[in-house]
Structure 1
Amino acid sequence: MVARRSGVPALNLDDFYRDGDDPSLPRRFGIPDWDLPACWDDGAALAALTALAHDGAAEIPTYSIAQSRRTGTAHLEIGDAPVFIAEGIFAGELIAPLRAAGLLAEAIVLDRPVPVVFTLRLLRDLRERRKSVPILLRRGTALARQQKQDLARWTRIGLRPCGLQAAVRRLRELVQLAEAESRCRALGGSSSRLRIAAVCFLRAAPAGAAHRTELLCVRKHGTGSWMQVGGKLDPGETAREAALREVEEELGAVLQATDLEELGEFEAVAANEPGTVVRSSVFTTRAPLPSPLQVRAELAEHQWIPVTADSPPSGAGRLAPLMVQHILPALHRRG
């Protein structure tokens, strides 16, 4: 459903189940327990994902759920798609190896009401004649009872819970980011580079919030991307000096050099300047801001977003590549 609505090509991980007559399979309800990772060939799935990422094509097994066995193979091509989806209940098993290989762009688990998931699963299984009706009902009921526990476990291992619409929006954002990076790589040495400084203003989240920390984001007039306060270094200016100057110009706040803590040096595609890569010195601060806060100079508006995971929060709008790829993950790792 997410793949269809987002237009992003997908690999169905259910095709990597092991054959039902494998004597090593765990069993429940008198049949193999297809909800346990031991029933699934994670090595073959990872190899196929790696081939798709590097070569754009892979040989994929075709699996008959009704017959509980592989029936052949198929050639899957994703063409020049900048990202693709791997979907299935065992997707979380691949987070660590994909991240280690530098292939993971995002890990999402759909968070939907239990009755909706039960109904959609049953309708799909009946339509595809996956198993007998009594088995489907017993299995569906068991999965519904443990859905909340499964969601908590998937969240712990690194998947981000999202509603359907939020997941579709996030996938489209990833496509835009990947396409922007591809255009910059195509420019090669002719791409321009900017040296900038950026400041992450942090504050404690309101009492009762699910997150602990919030990050200030700003948007410039005539643009659609949210980013950090900051800008280009003037000739002879250090990154810290530029950061202090930009904060005063854009927010009317006067900070001291000791108010800024280094987060890191990062490179990313510029959000608002095609064919440009920015190299940014990023600082953090919890220094107080004017109240009420009013952005100035070239800024149009501001917002505070939660720092919750290695990915942008839903509802935050389109975030600059520097934020998505580097700043938010670095803030989350730092805690």
Structure 2
Amino acid sequence: MVVRRSGVPALNLDDFYRDGEDPSLPRRFGIPDWDLPAAWDDGAALAALTALAHDGAAEIPTYSISQSRRTGTARLEIGDAPLFIAEGIFAAELIAPLAAAGLLAEAIVLDRSVPVVFVLRLLRDLRERRKSVPILVQRGIALARQQGRDMVRWKQAGLRPYSLRAAVGRLGELVQLAEAERRCRAVGAPSARLRIAAVCFLRDAPAGAAHRTELLCVRKHGTGSWMQVGGKLDPGESAREAALREVEEELGAVLRASDLEELGEFDAVAANEPATVVRSSVFTTRALLPATLQVRAELAEHQWIPVDENTAPSGLGRLAPLLVQHILPALRGREGPGHEDAPTAEVAEPTRRG
């Protein structure tokens, strides 16, 4: 309802539920408990939000509530909209990571009476044939009983309660603010600059793969962008020293200085820090890593991607600007022929475009 009245483009967070046959799902009433965050893929939702904020488009899963599974994917494009809404009961789970990435404009929860929420939820669920009528009624009663506790928890997480009319008005204000910020950046607002080091781990692709070389990418906790192992230089530290230290901290691997080959010095917009440019010293290595690699420190997960592709594999998320604009093109040139290494309380969370 907020989306329809405000005219602001939106991402439906319900599309990021996990499939019903997932054995790790919590259960209640003899079925998966879809009202707990554990039934929802927060990492995929965050990756999609990050891509929308930075790129204006993202691949989104299409989820059938009645079938309790994903049925495909669809491309969501928001064009040049300065603001969009992430709407769903689990919006509160994304407040902290979006705020840390500078992508959160406001966190809103509609403040409605228990009977109104119960009736609106039941009508929606019946219209969409989400589950059988007895289950929908039983679930609705349970949610109505816990609505007060949910509201307290949402407020503690940072959601601000608004009436429907006030929420629509607030969204209009946020759109105006976002447009003003965009104009300020366009006329040359100063950016912070960071000095970092990054390491590109390379390996030969598995036999039979269409590509030849793969690159290790990592994602930090609370972010949706994929990048290289690395980080900021400590005071008095050289780029090579920082690269070796970051590799040990994040992967648990100990390399020698001679294991690193310089790829280049590059400038790019930071993937996870607003109004920031990174100056990166990038190194490559073909040092062996354990087959069962476990990322550590601030890293959440890792993925090997083909060097000859400019986008993340489907459903993975987005690649950092430094990676797309500089690292991958440089690696393709270096790895080419001749190189020696070549082989419902309704919750709406508006999110700012980067």
TM-score bin, normalised by smaller chain:
0.5 to 0.7
SS in 1 for 2:126: helix
Q: What's the counterpart of residue 13 of structure 1?
A: 13
1:46-88: per-residue Cα shift (whole Å, max 9, x none)?
0000000000000000000000000000000000000100010
Measure, in 2, the Cα distance between the counterparts of 1:163 and 1:151: 13
Q: What's the counterpart of residue 102 of structure 2?
A: 102
Deviation at 1:180, TM superposition (A): 1.3
1:44 maps to 2:25:
no
SS in 1 for 2:188: helix
Q: What's the counterpart of residue 325 of structure 1?
A: none
Q: What's the counterpart of residue 152 of structure 1?
A: 152
SS in 2 for 1:104: coil
SS in 1 for 2:125: helix
Q: What's the counterpart of residue 311 of structure 2?
A: none
Q: What's the counterpart of residue 112 of structure 2?
A: 112
Deviation at 1:182, TM superposition (A): 1.7
Deviation at 1:187, TM superposition (A): 2.9
TM-score between the two structures when normalised by the length of structure 2: 0.53
Measure, in 2, the Cα distance between the counterparts of 1:151 and 1:97: 20
SS in 1 for 2:46: helix
Deviation at 1:183, TM superposition (A): 2.0
Measure, in 1, the Cα distance between the counterparts of 2:134 and 2:180: 50
Q: What's the counterpart of residue 171 of structure 2?
A: 171
1:10-62: per-residue Cα shift (whole Å, max 9, x none)?
00000000000111101000100000000000000000000000000000000
Q: What's the counterpart of residue 83 of structure 1?
A: 83
1:96-123: per-residue Cα shift (whole Å, max 9, x none)?
1111111111001111011111011000
Measure, in 2, the Cα distance between the counterparts of 1:181 and 1:25: 41
Measure, in 2, the Cα distance between the counterparts of 1:188 and 1:36: 44
Gaps of 5+ in 2: 190-354
1:32 maps to 2:64:
no
1:141-191: per-residue Cα shift (whole Å, max 9, x none)?
0001111110011001111011111111111100001111222222337xx
Q: What's the counterpart of residue 294 of structure 1?
A: none
Q: What's the counterpart of residue 54 of structure 1?
A: 54
Higher relative contact order (CA 8 A, sep 6+): 2
Measure, in 2, the Cα distance between the counterparts of 1:184 and 1:107: 24
Measure, in 2, the Cα distance between the counterparts of 1:7 and 1:171: 9
Q: What's the counterpart of residue 200 of structure 1?
A: none
SS in 1 for 2:59: strand
Measure, in 2, the Cα distance between the counterparts of 1:4 and 1:14: 17
1:121 maps to 2:121:
yes
Measure, in 1, the Cα distance between the counterparts of 2:178 and 2:96: 21
Measure, in 1, the Cα distance between the counterparts of 2:163 and 2:28: 31
What residue identity is the alignment partner of 2:169? R
Q: What's the counterpart of residue 262 of structure 2?
A: none
SS in 2 for 1:171: helix
Q: What's the counterpart of residue 67 of structure 2?
A: 67
1:283-315: per-residue Cα shift (whole Å, max 9, x none)?
xxxxxxxxxxxxxxxxxxxxxxxxxxxxxxxxx
1:161 maps to 2:161:
yes
Q: What's the counterpart of residue 290 of structure 2?
A: none
What residue identity is the alignment partner of 1:114? V
Question: How is 1:1-335 mapped onto 2 (pairs within 5 angstroms)?
Answer: 1-188=1-188
Measure, in 2, the Cα distance between the counterparts of 1:52 and 1:187: 23
What residue identity is the alignment partner of 2:130? R
TM-score between the two structures when normalised by the length of structure 1: 0.56
Measure, in 2, the Cα distance between the counterparts of 1:183 and 1:100: 23
Give structure 1 regions of 4+ aligned residues with deviation exceeding 4 angstroms: none
What residue identity is the alignment partner of 2:101? A
Q: What's the counterpart of residue 302 of structure 1?
A: none
Measure, in 2, the Cα distance between the counterparts of 1:183 and 1:24: 46
Measure, in 1, the Cα distance between the counterparts of 2:57 and 2:155: 30
State the number of aligned residues: 189
Percent same amino acid among aligned pairs? 85
1:225-272: per-residue Cα shift (whole Å, max 9, x none)?
xxxxxxxxxxxxxxxxxxxxxxxxxxxxxxxxxxxxxxxxxxxxxxxx
